[in-house]
Chain A
Amino acid sequence: MTEQTLHSKAFNQAIAEDVLIGSHCLVCGNISIPQRQICPNCHSDQVERIHTNGVGTLATFTVIYVPPTSMADAGYNAKNPYCVGIIALGEGPRISAQIVGLDLSDPSNIKIGMPLKQTFVIRGEGEAAKKFLAFEPA
């Protein structure tokens, strides 16, 4: 396999191109998202890079009112909280990402199991601007 396409930083490099990648084990069929250089199920290195179709459901979530420095710098605070969740992807694995496009005024209205699709958000401005994976209601 071509290592360059599977190393751990390849995921965020793909995000910059609006692609969510994973890996598929040619020996046991296991799918990993994010991608792995060796299959965590059978330890084979016969793994290929895959592009996911970017759809899934909400497995769990929280709404964060006290952000870390990176999210505070992106404009979030107690009055402007954000939702972060774990998404069960159609391919099977789960992934962590910000969830956008939701009404956060009463988080108890957000439902586990709701269908989601991938999107991408820019945080930071000017030279500090960077693209991140996010999900939104499908």
Chain B
Amino acid sequence: MAKKLSRGVAVVGVGMSKFGVFPEKASRDLFVEAFQELRQSVQKGFDPKDIEAFYMGNFTSDHFENQAHLAPIVASWVGISPVASTRIEDACASGGVALRQGVLAIASGEVDMVLVGGLEKMTDLPGAKVTDALALAADSLFEIPAGFTFPGFYAAMATAYIDQYKADPDALLRVGIKNHENGALNEKAQFNQTIKDVMIGKQRKAEHKGLPIPQWEDEMAFLKDPKSNPMIAWPLRLFDCSPVSDGAAAVLLVSEELAAKFTEEPIFIVGSGQASDGALAERASLSEVPAAAKASKHAYEMAGLTPDDIDFAEVHDCFTIAEIMATEDLGFFARGEGWKAAMDGRTARDGSHPINTSGGLKSKGHPVGASGVGQVVEVWKQMHGLAGERQLRGNLKHALTHNMGGTGQTCVVHIFEKRN
């Protein structure tokens, strides 16, 4: 049974850069933008000199920017040196694990105020080199020699899932359509357009160039056309994959008893869980992610909550199949039901279990080290009624974030609570 945190932890401010492609900016520049937005978001203000520790998620600035030892540099760039600054590397879960380290540091009583960051600058490398850099998250001795890529791993999980549950592969496309609809309403999203917008854009482009205008009956037809949506790793196509992105996000944590000094509306972190796993081939089932189930079980126990208590969630949809499996691993739907929920609209903003109202990694973008921290920004916005046109209705009391590294070798889950 997971123990409660020995001391409560509150989020009192958040910020993020826009996610996208920014050739003129380095990762530290994007983090400065996130940090400045975070400062604005703290209702009663705070002095950056009071920050006592900085945990920063980043996968591989070594390869993307030829820069290791990034945490102290970023700390200096936002003016918080000589604060203890630590880079956390757990592939695409780096940001979520950095958040967990911040939570544990405050819960331990050692520090009262922690800055948590996540950042990645991926787009300076050519596409093939980005694929190779991301492949570093897999086992270089026993998975990479087989010819696996990350789209390939998730495609193999999709094949297993579809076979085991006789699932309709259209469910994958539905996840993409839904996340683009949400991302279209998020000004920070890399692709803030719907699939229909993308489709119309392609037609206009053809018209503009005097080429034959391609015709599709609807978004599903567009997504099934190998010309507009080419196969990457069967059965996953281009629009099943999250993009290559630049971006940064930041969260300010303080101990529960200090929260009222900074804001009348803190968000409390009441559950935190993390788990690991071996290579994909080692798992008993290939259609689920055991580490996600284990991490969430720990977080639910710590919070004294069940999946039914969660009003909305941001999950790690690096590929469309990952969102479907996550909704089962996290207990929102029974095994084999996740694809039906995606088909039925149960994960849409007006559904029973809204998932990825921000647009998710798919549409918002996936600057890998930033993704797990960026999820908290959406939780904050939704819980404070700041989500604009994508705002969920009703009283939002509990939210969950799910961040995953590799094929689920690292999974980290957090549960958030609003008390007023």
Contact = CB atoms under 8 A, between A and B. Distances in A.
A67 B131 CA distance: 9
Contacts of B128: 68-69, 72
A64 B152 contact: yes
Contacts of A82: 147
Interface in B322-350: none
A132 B145 CA distance: 7
Interface residues of A, number: 37
A11 B286 contact: no
Given A60-B286, A61-B156, A68-B149, A8 B143 contact: no
A96 B280 contact: yes
A78 B230 contact: yes
B160 interface: yes
Contacts of B159: 60-62, 112
Contacts of B147: 64, 67-68, 70-71, 76, 82, 84, 98
Nearest to A132: B145
B21 interface: no
Contacts of B278: 40
B146 interface: yes
A60 B151 CA distance: 14
Contacts, number: 107
Contacts of B286: 59-60, 86
Chain B CB within 10 A, most for which of A65, A94, A107: A65
A98 B146 contact: yes
Interface in A48-82: 59-72, 76, 78, 81-82
Nearest to A96: B146
Contact of A96 (B129, B231, B281): B281
Contacts of B131: 66, 68-69
B25 to A, nearest CB: 26
Nearest to B163: A112
Contacts of A76: 147
A67 B149 contact: yes
Given A84-B148, A84-B152, A84-B156, A64 B233 contact: yes
Nearest to A113: B163
Contacts of B163: 60, 112
A38 interface: no
B142 to A, nearest CB: 6
Interface string B126-159: 0011011001000001111111110110011111
B279 interface: yes
B142 A66 contact: no
Interface in B41-84: none
Contacts of A12: 141, 145
A85 interface: yes
Contacts of A94: 281-282
Contacts of A85: 156
Chain B CB within 10 A, most for which of A59, A60, A63, A72: A60
Chain B CB within 10 A, most for which of A40, A72, A95, A132: A95
A59 B135 contact: no
B234 interface: yes
A9 interface: yes
B152 A9 contact: no
A2 to B, nearest CB: 20
B290 to A, nearest CB: 14
A97 interface: yes
B285 to A, nearest CB: 10
A29 interface: no
A93 interface: yes
A72 B127 CA distance: 13
B354 interface: no
Chain B CB within 10 A, most for which of A34, A86, A98: A86
Given A40-B278, A62-B155, A71-B147, 4 more contacts: A64-B152, A78-B230, A86-B286, A95-B142
Interface of A: 8-9, 11-12, 34, 40, 59-72, 76, 78, 81-82, 84-86, 93-98, 107, 112, 132-133
Interface of B: 128-129, 131-132, 135, 141-149, 151-152, 155-160, 163, 230-236, 278-282, 286
Q: Which 5 A-B pairs have the closest CB atoms?
A: A62-B155, A96-B146, A60-B160, A63-B234, A94-B281
29 contacts: A8-B141, A11-B142, A59-B281, A60-B157, A60-B163, A62-B156, A62-B159, A64-B147, A64-B232, A66-B151, A66-B232, A68-B147, A69-B128, A69-B132, A70-B144, A84-B148, A84-B156, A86-B280, A86-B281, A93-B281, A94-B281, A94-B282, A95-B281, A96-B142, A96-B143, A96-B146, A97-B146, A112-B163, A133-B145
